Amino acid sequence: MTGIREILARNFKINRQKLGLTQGQLAEKADVSTHYIAMIETCNKYPKPEMLERLAKALAVEPHQLFSVSDTPDESFERLHQAIISDMKQVFQETLKEILSENYKAKDQT
């Protein structure tokens, strides 16, 4: 069983990486030390509520999101499935628009 500190550490690091930030860059953004960020990510430090709000703001997430547990594999698969379908629809629509546009241009030239 994973404890709350491990969940926070994992989510904290994941959200930092999603933003493409190093520990140092996040530390600067949140006005804390790089060591403090590293300590949170390794479960050696647990921020107080005020600090948690500041760190969440720097990560552009709500504080409660740092404590959410990952989806089940089925939920992750379903979300991926829906994203693929959405992307395929968009590509199809864009391709159809291009084809129709080319057909109208060809008719105008004849």
What angle in degrees, to the nearest 10, is found between the helix axes of 34-41 and 23-30?
Answer: 110
State whether residue 21 is helix, strand or coil. coil
CATH fold for the domain made of 4-67: 434 Repressor (Amino-terminal Domain) (1.10.260)
Name the H helices within the chain: 4-18, 23-30, 34-41, 49-58, 73-109
pLDDT in tens, the chain (110 residues): 468 999 899 899 989 998 999 999 999 999 999 999 999 999 999 999 999 999 999 999 999 989 988 666 766 777 678 878 888 999 999 999 999 888 877 777 76
Rounded CA-CA distance 18/5 in Å is: 20
The answer to whether 47 touches 33, Cβ cutoff 8 Å, is no
